[in-house]
Amino acid sequence: MKVFISGASGLVGGNCLKHFKEMGWEVVGSYFSYAVEGTVYYDTLNPGHTENFDVKGFNPDVIVHCGALTHVDYCESHPEESYEKTVQSTINLMALAKEIGCRMVYISTDYVFDGKEGPYTEDAPVHPISIYAEHKLEAEQLVLKEINDALVLRVTNVYGDEVRGKNFVARIVEQCINKQKLTLKLPYDQYASPANAWDIARAMYLLLRDGKGGIYHIGSTDYLNRVELALRVLSYFPDAEYDLIPISTEDMKQPAARPLLGGFVKMKFSNEYPDFLFGNVDSYLRSKFAK
């Protein structure tokens, strides 16, 4: 299978690029603002850019869209930029997919829900409560409507191996390794199901291999709040120096609303792939730091 990955310099896209290649697929991954070895340039907001990789010439069977503006609070105060980088970029890739006649994968989020009745199954009613969430939902619905056999994977609190180490778990690990004191003010009432990007890549590979379409929730065996997640990571660094301040979401006064009971029930995927073993934060950290 031939796959073009938009946003392959990021966490999910980078893991997909690596895994798909290991499984023998012909894969090209792109970057926009941050070049990573083995990726090509592609600007999803300027499909006619002269430096863009020739996706049509590559003629992929699937376009995987991993790029987006993920800073939730920034999106709240910059709605036009949020729309451009989340919705318009998706519309542009959809047009490309239609021209080529290929399938498309869109990476979405649990923020499409309001967080009142999570964790969520795929058929739960959506109710976005922030600009970021509205735009992610609009994009995923467009893909499902316009692209035949499109695949939407909803993920949240993604962690794992990443060149830039931007994810929450990686940032804590880096500071611990560098023996920096951490000051963490974290909400104790925001719950989610963190997923390793490697598991997301492995799951996506199976779904694409088997021609699956529609929405799938991808989680792990963890369901915990941000304080618990931080403490889980810190437990692997007994000498770490830190101040951890649990706080309610209301008291944090974040510009964008967050779903409190978020996360997923991954029963649909697990029923179809009962022998797929998801990892969790502990298994990921043990593989790297346990002695």
pLDDT at residue number 288: 87
Pairing mode, if any, of strands 191-192 and 224-225?
antiparallel
Is domain 1-291 in CATH 3.90.1200.10, yes or no?
no
Average pLDDT, the chain: 97
pTM over the 0.85 mark: yes
pLDDT of residue 291: 56
**Predicted confidence band of residue 289 (pLDDT cuts 50, 70, 90):** confident
pLDDT of residue 113: 98
**Domain coordinates in residue numbering, the chain:** 1-291
Flag whether pLDDT at 44 surpasses 90.
Answer: yes
Q: What is the dihedral of CA 231, 236, 238, 243, to 10 degrees?
A: -30
Closest CA to 129 of 151, 103, 110: 110
Structure confidence at residue 112 as a pLDDT band (50, 70, 90): very high
Closest CA to 130 of 263, 261, 259: 259
pLDDT surpassing 90 at residue 290: no
Q: How many helices (H) and strands (E) does the chain have?
A: 12, 13
Helix (H) or strand (E) holding 140: helix 131-146
Give CA–CA dist 20/209, Å, rounded. 10
Whole-number percent of the chain with pLDDT over 90: 96
Q: What is the pLDDT of residues 193-206, one digit of tens each?
A: 999 999 999 999 99
54: confidence class by pLDDT, cuts 50, 70, 90: very high
Sign of the torsion angle spanned by Cα atoms 39, 41, 42, 43: positive
Using 50, 70 and 90 to split pLDDT, how confident is the model at 68? confident
CA distance 44 to 180: 37
Average pLDDT over residues 50-74: 96
255-258 contacts at long range (C-beta below 8 A, 24 or more positions apart): 255/73, 255/76, 255/77, 256/72, 256/73, 256/75, 256/76, 256/130, 256/131, 256/132, 257/129, 257/130, 258/72, 258/111, 258/115, 258/129, 258/130, 258/187, 258/190
Model confidence at 133, pLDDT cuts 50, 70, 90, reads very high
